[in-house]
Structure 1
Amino acid sequence: MRKSIATVSLSGTLAEKLTAIAGAGFDGVEIFENDLLASPLSPEEVRARAADLGLSIDLYQPFRDFEAVPADVLDRNLRRAEHKFDVMERLGSTRLLVCSSVSPDAVDDDALAAEQLRLLAERAAEHGIRIAYEALAWGRHVNEYLHAWRIARMADHPSLGVCLDSFHILSRGSDPGGIEAIPGEKIFFLQLADAPLLAMDVLQWSRHYRCFPGQGGFDLAGLVAHVLRAGYSGPLSLEVFNDVFRQADTARTAVDAMRSLIALEESVARRLPQAAALPVPPRPVVPTGFAFAELAVAGGDEVGALLRALGLARTGVHGGKPVELWEQGQARILLNAGEPAEDPSLAAIGLETPDPAGSVKRAQSLLSPTLPRRRAPHDAPLDSVAAPDGTALFFCRTAQPDHTSWTDDFTGASVEPAPGEITHIDHVALTQPWHHFDEASLFYRSVLGLRPQESLELADPYGLLRSRAMTNSDGTVRIALNVAYVGSHASHPDVSWQHVALASRDIIATARRLHALGGVLLPIPGNYYDDLEARHDLGPERHRMLRELGLLYDRDARGEFLHLYTVTVGRVFFEIVQRIGGYDGYGAQNAPIRLAAQHATADR
Structure 2
Amino acid sequence: MKTSIATVSLSGSLAEKLHACAAAGFDGVEIFEPDLIAGDHSPEEIRALAARLGLTLDLYQPLRDLEGVDEDVFDDNLRRAAATFATAARLGIGTVLVCSNVATATVDSDEVSADQLRRIGELAQSYGIRIAFEALAWGRFVDDYRRAWRIAELADHPAVGVCLDSFHVLSRAHDPSAIADIPADKIFYLQLADAAAVSMDVLSWSRHHRLFPGEGAFDLTRFVTCVLETGYDGPLSLEVFNDTFRQTDPSHTAVHALRSLLWLQDKVAAANPEGWRPELTTLAAAKPATAFDFVELKAEDTSEVEVLLSQLGFAMRGRHRTKPVSLWSAGSARVVLNEQQARDREPHVAAVGLQVPDAAATSARAAELMAPTAFRRTYASEQPFGAAVAPDGTEFFWITETHDAPAWVSEFESGMPNAHSPVEVIDHVNLTQPWQTAEDAVLFLTSVFGLTPDAPAEVPGPTGLVRSQVMRTADGAIRLPLNVAPHVLDGRGMAQHVAFACSDVVGLARAAAARGLHFLPVSDNYYDYLHGRFGLGVEEVAELRALNLLYDRSPDGHFVHFYTRTVGSVFFEFVQRFGHYDGYGVDNAPIRLAAQRSCAGRSR
Q: Same fold (TM over 0.5)?
A: yes
Distance 1:62 1:191, change over 3 A: same
Gaps of 5+ in 2: none
Conserved 8 A contact 2:551-2:559 = yes
Alignment-mate amino acid for residue 286 of structure 2: P
Alignment correspondent of 1:286 = 288
Alignment-mate amino acid for residue 526 of structure 1: D
Conserved 8 A contact 1:289-1:352 = yes
> Are residue 190 (structure 1) and residue 181 (structure 2) matched?
no
> Are residue 389 (structure 1) and residue 408 (structure 2) matched?
no
1:139 is displaced (CA, Å) by: 1.1
Q: Secondary structure at the match of 1:447?
A: helix
Conserved 8 A contact 2:184-2:231 = yes
Q: Secondary structure at the match of 2:445?
A: helix
Conserved 8 A contact 2:308-2:517 = no
- Give the Cα separation in 1 of the matches to 2:251 and 2:240: 15
Distance 1:61 1:493, change over 3 A: closer
1:539 is displaced (CA, Å) by: 2.4
Structural mapping, 1:235-314, within 5 Å? 235-273=235-273, 274-314=276-316
Conserved 8 A contact 1:356-1:397 = yes
- Give the Cα separation in 2 of the matches to 1:427 and 1:291: 12
- Give the Cα separation in 2 of the matches to 1:487 and 1:32: 31
- 1:330 corresponds, among 318, 322, 332, to 332
Alignment-mate amino acid for residue 6 of structure 2: A
Alignment-mate amino acid for residue 419 of structure 2: A
Taking only the aligned residue pairs, the percentage that are identical comes to: 52
Alignment correspondent of 1:346 = 349
- 1:589 corresponds, among 581, 587, 590, to 587
1:372 is displaced (CA, Å) by: 2.7
Alignment correspondent of 1:476 = 477
- Give the Cα separation in 2 of the matches to 1:92 and 1:203: 31
Alignment correspondent of 2:358 = 355
Alignment correspondent of 2:46 = 46
> Deviation per CA, 1:19-58, whole angstroms, max 9, x where unpaired?
1111221111000000001111111111111111111000
Alignment correspondent of 2:501 = 503
Alignment correspondent of 2:533 = 535
CA RMSD in angstroms, aligned pairs only? 1.7
> Are residue 373 (structure 1) and residue 376 (structure 2) matched?
yes
1:339 is displaced (CA, Å) by: 3.1
Worse-matched range after superposition: 326-335 or 538-547: 538-547
Alignment correspondent of 2:442 = 441
Conserved 8 A contact 1:566-1:575 = yes
Alignment-mate amino acid for residue 367 of structure 1: M
> Deviation per CA, 1:42-81, whole angstroms, max 9, x where unpaired?
1111111111111100000000111132333222222222
1:397 is displaced (CA, Å) by: 4.0
Alignment correspondent of 1:571 = 569
**Alignment length, in residue pairs?**
599
| TM-score, length basis structure 1 | 0.96
Alignment correspondent of 1:130 = 130
Alignment-mate amino acid for residue 548 of structure 2: G
Distance 1:426 1:355, change over 3 A: same
Q: Secondary structure at the match of 1:293?
A: strand
Structural mapping, 1:44-123, within 5 Å? 44-104=44-104, 106-123=106-123
- Give the Cα separation in 2 of the matches to 1:261 and 1:423: 39
1:392 is displaced (CA, Å) by: 0.7
Alignment-mate amino acid for residue 88 of structure 1: A
Conserved 8 A contact 2:484-2:491 = no
1:570 is displaced (CA, Å) by: 0.5
Alignment correspondent of 1:419 = 420
- Give the Cα separation in 2 of the matches to 1:550 and 1:213: 42
- Give the Cα separation in 1 of the matches to 2:210 and 2:321: 49
1:493 is displaced (CA, Å) by: 8.7
Q: Secondary structure at the match of 2:112?
A: helix
Conserved 8 A contact 1:67-1:101 = yes
Distance 1:486 1:598, change over 3 A: farther
Worse-matched range after superposition: 364-373 or 291-300: 364-373
1:459 is displaced (CA, Å) by: 0.5
Alignment-mate amino acid for residue 507 of structure 1: V
Worse-matched range after superposition: 436-445 or 70-79: 70-79
Alignment correspondent of 2:488 = 487
Alignment correspondent of 1:215 = 215
Structure 1 residue runs of 4 or more that deviate by more than 6 Å after TM superposition? 398-401
- Give the Cα separation in 2 of the matches to 1:157 and 1:25: 35
1:559 is displaced (CA, Å) by: 1.8
Alignment correspondent of 1:601 = 599
> Deviation per CA, 1:204-256, whole angstroms, max 9, x where unpaired?
11111111111111111111111111221111111111111111221111111
Worse-matched range after superposition: 82-91 or 298-307: 82-91
Alignment-mate amino acid for residue 371 of structure 2: S
> Are residue 466 (structure 1) and residue 467 (structure 2) matched?
yes
Conserved 8 A contact 1:351-1:394 = yes
- Give the Cα separation in 2 of the matches to 1:20 and 1:228: 28
1:518 is displaced (CA, Å) by: 4.1
- Give the Cα separation in 2 of the matches to 1:191 and 1:463: 35
- Give the Cα separation in 2 of the matches to 1:569 and 1:436: 24
Gaps of 5+ in 1: none
- Give the Cα separation in 2 of the matches to 1:12 and 1:150: 38
- Give the Cα separation in 2 of the matches to 1:398 and 1:200: 43
| TM-score, length basis structure 2 | 0.96
- Give the Cα separation in 2 of the matches to 1:580 and 1:404: 29
Conserved 8 A contact 1:59-1:96 = yes
- Give the Cα separation in 1 of the matches to 2:230 and 2:386: 43
Alignment-mate amino acid for residue 20 of structure 1: A
Alignment correspondent of 1:316 = 318
Q: Secondary structure at the match of 2:22?
A: helix
Alignment correspondent of 2:227 = 227
Q: Secondary structure at the match of 2:429?
A: strand
- Give the Cα separation in 1 of the matches to 2:413 and 2:360: 26
- Give the Cα separation in 1 of the matches to 2:588 and 2:112: 60
1:383 is displaced (CA, Å) by: 2.4
Conserved 8 A contact 1:290-1:425 = yes
Conserved 8 A contact 1:285-1:362 = no
Conserved 8 A contact 1:398-1:405 = no
1:400 is displaced (CA, Å) by: 6.5
Q: Secondary structure at the match of 1:198?
A: coil
1:487 is displaced (CA, Å) by: 3.4
Alignment correspondent of 1:148 = 148
1:597 is displaced (CA, Å) by: 0.3
Worse-matched range after superposition: 281-290 or 139-148: 281-290
Q: Secondary structure at the match of 2:436?
A: helix
